[in-house]
Amino acid sequence: MIGVVIPAHNEAALISVCLASVQVACAHPGLAGESVEVVVVLDDCSDGTALIAAAYPVTLLYASARNVGMARAQGARHLIEKGARWLAFTDADTSVSPDWLPAQLACQADAVCGTVGVADWSVFQGDAALLQAHFNATYQDAANHRHVHGANFGISVLAYLRAGGFPALACSEDQALVDTLVALGVHIAWSAAPRVLTSARQDPRAAGGFGDALRAALLRCREQAGAAPPLAGSNPAA
């Protein structure tokens, strides 16, 4: 069995797109009929995320930690207890490609670190083209990259258990796990084959995560251009 873990905190606006894409991926013929269980870990949700997720054939788990590392670990524990051999992780604001799961397995590695693309730059309004150009020029979306994204990560259960799983970190839990895997000498595929598109929204759920990295990159771009007023809707002190 393959397991998919999706942590979610107040993702009512985006999780339906995510789950629809995951359902397509679960039915890919490249899996040769192997069963897939999808787990959504609802972490302190106060909006309609649970109601929307319940409309899909997924398992709902509940948490109140507001901690993505703990949420990912909770989903992994459930799936390991159910007999999963491979764990795939994405985020509730991300859509995965139809061949996302077979593309991970085809790497024939103990863990797979994939890249991300951005679904829609328009949330940055007048700065969208500037930030998109910077991302395209600086982000290595190719084989042998060294990016780590919880939105596009897969790992065998044996390797996951050997590394001790995701640490209880509110951010960079994915990087911490991969650092442990590297230290252990685990075979990691740094692949651009498993494809996902994630959001570039201005209200990222994890401080210090991908959303904040985009905002910081835009500020650097604007400084280089000679002007760096606060981003629309941003809190300069955040």
Going from N- to C-terminal start, the domains of the chain cover 2-225
Task: Name the token pair of 108.
Answer: 């024939």
The pLDDT, as a whole number, for residue 227 is 52
pLDDT higher than threshold 60 for residue 36: yes
Dist. CA 110–CA 207, nearest whole Å:
29
**Looking at the DSSP assignment, which residues form a beta bridge with residue 59?**
39
Tell me the CA distances in angstroms from 112 to 1, 85, 86, 207, one per residue in order: 17, 14, 11, 24
Q: Which of 32-41, 123-132, 153-162 has the lowest mean pLDDT?
A: 123-132
Q: How many CB atoms lie within 10 A of CB 136?
A: 11
Q: How many CB atoms lie within 10 A of CB 12?
A: 17
The pLDDT, as a whole number, for residue 95 is 98
Residues 194, 104 contacting (CB under 8 angstroms):
yes
Class of domain 2-225: alpha beta
The pLDDT, as a whole number, for residue 223 is 76
Q: What is the pLDDT of residues 107-116, one digit of tens each?
A: 999 999 999 9
Beta strands (DSSP E) in the chain are: 2-8, 36-43, 59-63, 86-89, 94-96, 111-113, 117-118, 153-156, 188-190, 196-198
Dist. CA 37–CA 4, nearest whole Å:
6
**Looking at the DSSP assignment, which residues form a beta bridge with residue 216?**
none
- Bigger pLDDT: 70 vs 209: 70
Q: What is the pLDDT of residues 60-107, one digit of tens each?
A: 999 999 999 999 999 999 999 999 999 999 999 999 999 999 999 999
